[in-house]
Amino acid sequence: MRYVQEQCTLIYKEEIAKGVFSFTLKAPQIALRAECGQFVNVLCDPFQLRRPISIGGFDADAGILRLVFEVRGKGTDWLASLEDGATVDLLGPLGHGFPLMASDKKAVMIGGGIGTPPLLPLCRRYGKNATLISGFRTASAVILKEDAEAFGARNVVCTDDGTSGFAGFTTQALEEELKNGTFDVVYTCGPKIMMKKVAELAKAYDIPCYVSMEERMACGVGACLGCACKTKKEDGSSAMTRVCMNGPVFEASEVDFE
Ligand SMILES: Cc1cc2nc3c(=O)[nH]c(=O)nc-3n(C[C@H](O)[C@H](O)[C@H](O)COP(=O)(O)OP(=O)(O)OC[C@H]3O[C@@H](n4cnc5c(N)ncnc54)[C@H](O)[C@@H]3O)c2cc1C
Ligand code: FES
């Protein structure tokens, strides 16, 4: 069993956009085991079911873990109410993360809104060879630009209303990038409709593509089937797969986006 249950200390909480929080935690056991694209299951004290949150950063040497989450309901609202010094009960790291190429390969990452945090460790991994395309409703909702750039990554911000960066969808920005540059690998996390289009573009340009599926979850460790999603087998038939165990990252051609 590679995952552990760890009582972690919240070192620094910051509201980085309205309703979006960044937690920096002392979590040496989980940070030591973490890989890009994995997640932790967070105990939100009054609720029995843990909430899955992607690992938005980890430093094994310093024993530090970063989580970035949006308040969506009762669990994340409770989590956001914690203050520095609080203890947070985490189970992790869970799931299969993003397959990595050599760090001198050129990677393009496409994040839709709160799907952007799991791509941040990839910015660290690929550094100046990383291009992050991240999409938000409006300028005030933009997150993680400085963090991605601090790792040397180029960040193309897209907003629906054109108040910051490229006015339009991330998939339009990706199309431009693919026309004008060469990439060795594509990674994406965000709304299914966005990831479907990203997968189609990657296929058209014959680039390997990995998608992170953020299905609703319950146990997070393969016991309840609450996270099953449709995947394609090699013979073209469909199968149901547990995202918490076999994902959240899948090779794009395995996923049935319909
Ligand atoms: C692998 C994975 C990684 C994720 N990473 C992040 C992240 O980095 N940042 C972030 O803001 N959000 C992330 N999410 C979504 C996050 O888990 C939900 O927003 C959160 O569980 C909502 O809980 P709640 O109690 O606030 O909402 P409620 O709607 O009150 O939750 C009720 C129940 O539904 C489950 N649930 C609701 N929405 C989701 C959802 N989208 N995914 C999974 N379970 C859900 C909750 O766990 C809980 O059991 C991730 C989801 C998955 C599966
Ligand atoms: S969340 Fe229970 S099997 Fe995946």
Summarised one tens digit per residue, pLDDT across range 194-242 is: 999 999 999 999 999 999 998 888 888 888 888 888 888 777 788 888 9
Q: Based on the domain organization, do 141 and 222 belong to the same domain?
A: no
Tell me 113's DSSP state.
Answer: G
Taking the C-alpha atoms of residue 118 and residue 33, their distance in angstroms, rounded to an integer, is: 16
49 lines ligand 2 (CB under 6 A): no
Counting the structural domains of the chain, the total is: 3
CATH number of the CATH domain containing 34: 2.40.30.10
Which range marks the domain in which residue 236 is found? Answer: 215-258
Ligand 2 center–CA 122 separation, angstroms: 25
Give residue 181's pLDDT. 85
CATH number of the CATH domain containing 196: 3.40.50.80
CA-nearest residue for atom 1, ligand 1, is: 214
Tell me which of 68-77, 151-160, 167-176, 229-238 is least confident.
Answer: 229-238
Q: Based on the domain organization, do 116 and 201 belong to the same domain?
A: yes
Measured from the Cα of 225, ligand 2's closest atom is 3
Q: Kindly identify the ligand whose nearest atom is closest to the C-alpha of 53.
A: 1
**pLDDT surpassing 70 at residue 63:** yes
Structure tokens at 220: 């997070």
Helices (H) and strands (E) in the chain, counts: 7, 16
Summarised one tens digit per residue, pLDDT across range 164-191 is: 999 999 999 999 999 998 999 999 999 9
Residue that terminates a domain, selected from 59, 94, 129: 94
Alpha helices, DSSP H, located in 10-126? 28-33, 74-80, 120-126
Q: Based on the domain organization, do 67 and 139 belong to the same domain?
A: no
Q: Based on the domain organization, do 114 and 141 belong to the same domain?
A: yes
Burial (0-12, 13-18, 19+ Cβ within 10 Å), 140: exposed
- The verdict on pTM exceeding 0.85 is yes
226 lines ligand 2 (CB under 6 A): yes
The position carrying tokens 């999603």 is: 229
Quote the mean pLDDT of the chain: 95
Is the CA virtual torsion 240, 242, 248, 249 positive or negative? Answer: negative
Strands of 18-106, DSSP E: 20-26, 39-42, 51-54, 57-59, 64-70, 87-94
Q: Based on the domain organization, do 43 and 110 belong to the same domain?
A: no
**pLDDT surpassing 60 at residue 1:** no
Q: How confident is the model at residue 48 (pLDDT cuts 50, 70, 90)?
A: confident
CA-nearest residue for atom 42, ligand 1, is: 216
Ligand 1 center–CA 214 separation, angstroms: 8
Q: Kindly identify the ligand whose nearest atom is closest to the C-alpha of 215.
A: 1
Q: Based on the domain organization, do 105 and 29 belong to the same domain?
A: no
